[in-house]
Amino acid sequence: MAERSFKKEVEDLRIGAGETFRGEGILAITKALLENGVGYVGGYQGAPISHLMDVLADAQDLLGELGIRFEANASEAAATAMLAASVHYPIRGAVTFKGPVGTNVASDALANLASGGVTGGALIIVGEDYGEGSSIMQERTHPYAQKSQVWLLDPRPNLPSIVDAVGHGFALSEASNTPVMLQVRIRSCHVYGSFQARDNVRPPLTVREALSNPQRKTDRVVLPPASYIHEQEKVSKRLPAALEYIRAHKLNEVFGPETAPVGLAIQGGMYNGVIRALQRLGLADVHGDTEVPIYVMNVAYPIVEEEFLDFCTGKDAVLVIEEGQPDLIEQALRSALHKAGHPVKLHGKGHIPMAGELTGRILLDGIEGFLRDTAPAMLPDPVRAPNEPPAPVPDLSGAVPGRPPGFCTGCPERPIFAALKLVENELGEHQVAGDIGCHLFGSLTPFNIGGSTMGYGLGPASNAAFDGGGERRPISMLGDGGFWHNGLSSSIGNAVFNKSDGLTIIVDNYYSAATGGQDILSSRADNASKATQHPISQAVKGVGVKWVRQIDRTYDVKRMRDTIKEALTTDHEGPKVIVASSECMLNRQRRERPILNQAIKEGRRVEKPKFGVDEEVCTGDHACMRLSGCPSLTLKMPDDPLRDDPVAHIDQSCVGCGNCGEVADAAVLCPSFYEARLVHNPTPVERRLSRLRKSVIGWLQARRAARRLSWEEPA
């Protein structure tokens, strides 16, 4: 079950010439692929590009009508390898994944693809996830384009520009026999807008038709001596062809007056932020007309040196606005100026920070500082006085508590870490390695378990150095998505081959929960176009793991605790695997809540579990919170005037998973948790029983109140 369904929006992909397409960037990219005769598409999900995979999955009927092959690839490496179909055949192919982690995984396939070159257009749509909104290490995709001589498009973040970039990406790839990357940031993926649609185009040659006439060109195979020739081709043929196409089709753009003392040279993806900064400085209007010339590099690599030198003519200084480090574009532009002996003074990192996302505030400060230093007369009055600091940001750290990322309410991974804490309390702390996915939150409070992550599916592999028969066995975490992506071979297979003795806990959410709920091999749901219901436990046994335990309800904290303890103390030699399975609560609620609400609306009986804390029993030591950490488990002041310490309380966000009570029971804490059943549309018998219970309880309460000592004066 994907995080979001695009079934309704997918119907808009059928519109044709003369109609206006309206929607967000992800849908616009899909429509552009269809309009440009793509023959096959694939990829691997990951923010901010996950929704593109969801759109393609929901559009399979339309893709089938056009003869387009769709593949939900096992990894980014598999997706990039899929573009091999464009090496020998004039078929346009496109794949998508998250950058830079996806590019890291795909780098081997990308290098081979770029070496041999392509015949059909090959487009790699990379979702650039950079800055404080990112969930990954801070790196850029740009160096991979340079390393492998792959052209990198970075279009302005509006729908017409993005759609044009898709078409030009295919054409540029074919003109230069080189794969092309299309980089779209999170704002581009989700920007809303419109563009004039064209008719969808069936690929001139489908992959099915290509199978009837196999092609093979040995000079495209990456094998010496052909690979030596490929290196020469990149600079003698492909690069000149790419530069000629970029110039001829004016992929880079210039905005603003022809003459001015200064100018800005920017990445295409920075355009909206730059225009907004100029508007705030009074140097651009609401339509984007600017008084400062802007050279927009919609092609971030390769640099068209002649275009840039022409832009610099007549200017005293130019500011390069480039997000992140290293300052690759700035270095290339400095080199071009140096070789040409051009007198313009180039500014860049200094006014613009070397690292970090270029937010609106940063762009405003950087451009204003550049203009103050080089062309102060262009700044209208009044503006901030020179060196005047920006308005101070109030320090809220004393008033607002820190909120580190954590598990969702009801997350089935929380009881796994609660069980681990209980085991460590008895056996001592262990070396624990994390993995990419929600379970990495276990390294933060309140659990503080695990301290490393080396890549998707590499949790057990990152613990390999410690797996040498020490006093305590190492523990590794591995998610189901990472397991099928890379973990089965690189982690589990590696552990079997090396006769490791550690424990791996595989968290099975029923699908790739961290990336949006996409189905994987072990998904429990039926999928019309994919093979699911392949148990992880059978896969690990298939590669040689002998000690395997399957737990189908992670909320059973006692069983989780006992199974983990067994794995850490057993005499069995060799890798030990626990497959801990429970459905992601977030996706479960998305699926079940509309069904339950509809049933209630129709008058059908619906029973929901609700949990609470008896404040008269609660001791107020809050150990339940330290072992649970559930957001719905909070504090409240008791109604008893003789107690002045807060007690535990379960608020209305509770989803009824029961983890809090299970933890309290397993840890032998106070028995203050209780379960109640909230019944919607009860039967007549239930209504009568409810009235009877209320009357009996009311009588008992009145009887107890009459015997209670009171300080009130009698009437």
- Per-position DSSP letters for 551-584, written without gaps between them: ES-TT-HHHHHHHHHHHHH----S-EEEEEE---
Q: Can you read off the two tokens belonging to residue 338?
A: 């140096």
Q: Can you read off the two tokens belonging to residue 184?
A: 């779209």
Q: Return d(Cα 273, Cα 367) in angstroms, integer.
A: 11
Closest CA to 244 of 307, 181, 294, 200: 307
For residue 511, what pLDDT is reported?
A: 87
For residue 8, what pLDDT is reported?
A: 84
Tell me, rounded to whole angstroms, the distance of Cα 202 from its chain centroid: 31
Tell me, rounded to whole angstroms, the distance of Cα 679 from its chain centroid: 38
What's the CATH fold of domain 414-587? Rossmann fold (3.40.50)
For residue 683, what pLDDT is reported?
A: 93
Q: Judge if 253-378 and 605-704 fold alike in CATH terms.
A: no
For residue 451, what pLDDT is reported?
A: 76
For residue 475, what pLDDT is reported?
A: 95
Q: Report the CATH number of the 17-248 domain.
A: 3.40.50.970
Task: Identify the helix (H) or strand (E) that includes residue 184.
Answer: strand 180-185
* CA 527 to each of CA 65, 482, 520, 537: distance values in angstroms, whole numbers, following the listed order: 20, 20, 10, 20
Q: Return d(Cα 41, Cα 57) in angstroms, integer.
A: 10
Q: Tokens 């929704």 correspond to what residue? A: 51
Which residues in the chain show pLDDT less than 50?
A: none
What's the CATH fold of domain 253-378? Rossmann fold (3.40.50)
For residue 2, what pLDDT is reported?
A: 55
H helices within 428-485, ranges in order? 459-462, 480-482
Query: Would you call 97 helix, strand, or coil by DSSP?
Result: strand
H helices within 281-319, ranges in order? 305-312
Residue 610 burial (C-beta neighbours within 10 Å; 0-12, 13-18, 19+): middle
Question: Over the stretch 505-520, which tens digit does the pLDDT of each residue have?
Answer: 999 999 888 777 888 9
Q: Domain coordinates of the chain in residue numbers?
A: 17-248, 253-378, 414-587, 605-704
Q: Report the CATH number of the 605-704 domain.
A: 3.30.70.20
- 69 and 40 Cβ atoms separated by less than 8 Å: yes
For residue 711, what pLDDT is reported?
A: 64
Q: Between vectors from CA 432 to CA 429 and to CA 438, what angle results, nearest 5°?
A: 125
Residues sharing a CB contact under 8 Å with residue 156, sequence separation 6 or more, in sequence order: 253, 268, 269, 271, 272, 296, 298
Check the CA dihedral 334-337-339-343 and report its sign: negative
For residue 344, what pLDDT is reported?
A: 96
Check the CA dihedral 349-354-356-362 and report its sign: negative
- 323 and 134 Cβ atoms separated by less than 8 Å: no
